Amino acid sequence: MAIHALEIAGLFLGGVGMVGTVAVTVMPQWRVSAFIENNIVVFENFWEGLWMNCVRQANIRMQCKIYDSLLALSPDLQAARGLMCAASVMSFLAFMMAILGMKCTRCTGDNEKVKAHILLTAGIVFIITGVVVLIPVSWVANAIIRDFYNPVVNVAQKRELGEALYLGWTTALVLIVGGALFCCVFCCNEKSSSYRYSIPSHHTTQKSYHTEKKSPSVYSRSQYV
């Protein structure tokens, strides 16, 4: 029962992490306007994402424009785009593998050992995906903080951490925890299977005892002869 609960919790966290990874990838709020010093035009809010930048005016109208060229982006956004796309694909593959490894799934047969290894693979992929999400999010955040405190950078070009970065950190944590739960499920299955095979059942013990009792020894047969 506990193993089944761990499987459900891991699958739920993995699904949430997969949705969060896709959401972070498409969200434009990676970099947002910083209203500091003379930059107090609060009725215009600038958002910069991996695929487009947006201008929101007075919380009423928003205009977005897709980037014309990949090479026009900064190195951190270029790397973040590739890593987040890879993380989206990896999270989807891990989620599908986790579904195939569930005990309630019949398409992979009834071999619990095979399902346990499938869940272990899904858990490892989930953990790797969490690390892959964590790298670009932290990289972009570091670049934003570095430019924010750099006196050479113009005030109008300084940005703050956007909502996508906070969601990315949360998503990475959820993916890692979900993968760890699947790894725990594999360890629990291995311990239960080793315990089951190490201790003989009561029925087998009684059967062997009666067999030994009914079969006479060679010495007793020689006496009867």
Residue 36: pLDDT over 80:
no
Within 13 Å and on the Cβ side, how many CA atoms surround 36? 14
Confirm if 172 and 130 have CB atoms less than 8 A apart. yes
pLDDT for 219: 42
Give 30's pLDDT tier (boundaries 50, 70, 90): very high
DSSP tag of 65: E
Residue 221: pLDDT above 50? Answer: no
Confidence of residue 45 (pLDDT cuts 50, 70, 90): confident
More confident: 21 or 102: 21
User: What average pLDDT does the chain have?
Assistant: 80
User: Which residue bears the tokens 């989620």?
Assistant: 95
Using 50, 70 and 90 to split pLDDT, how confident is the model at 55?
confident
Sheet holding 44-48, edge to edge: 61-66, 52-57, 44-48, 31-33, 159-161
pLDDT digits (tens, 9 = 90+) for 149-181: 888 877 777 888 989 999 999 999 999 999 999
Tell me the backbone φ, ψ of residue 64, rounded to 5 degrees: -125, 145
59-100 tens-digit pLDDT: 667 788 888 888 878 888 899 999 999 999 999 999 999 998
Q: For each of the domains in the chain, give its residue range(s) and CATH number, in order of start.
A: 1-27+73-194 (1.20.140.150)
Contacts of 159 (CB under 8 A, 6+ apart): 31, 32, 33, 34, 46, 48, 144, 147, 148
Instruction: Give the separation between CA 9 and CA 15, rounded to whole angstroms.
Output: 10
Contact 90, 125 (CB under 8 A): yes
Q: Which of 19, 8, 20 is nearest to 181 (CA)?
A: 8
67 token code pair: 């980037």
**Could you tell me which residue, 34 or 41, shows the higher pLDDT?**
34
**Residue 209, pLDDT score:** 45
**Contact present, 184 and 2 (Cβ < 8 Å):** no
d(C-alpha 78, C-alpha 67), whole Å: 11
Residue 187 has pLDDT above 70, yes or no: yes
Determine the average pLDDT of the residues in 115-137: 93
The residues near 18 (Cβ < 8 Å, ≥ 6 apart) are 88, 91, 92, 94, 95
- Closest of 36, 183, 53, 71 to residue 116, by C-alpha: 183
The two structure tokens encoding residue 107:
């398409």
Q: Report the pLDDT value the prediction gives residue 32, as an integer from 0 to 100.
A: 87
Distance of CA 128 to the CA centre of its chain: 7
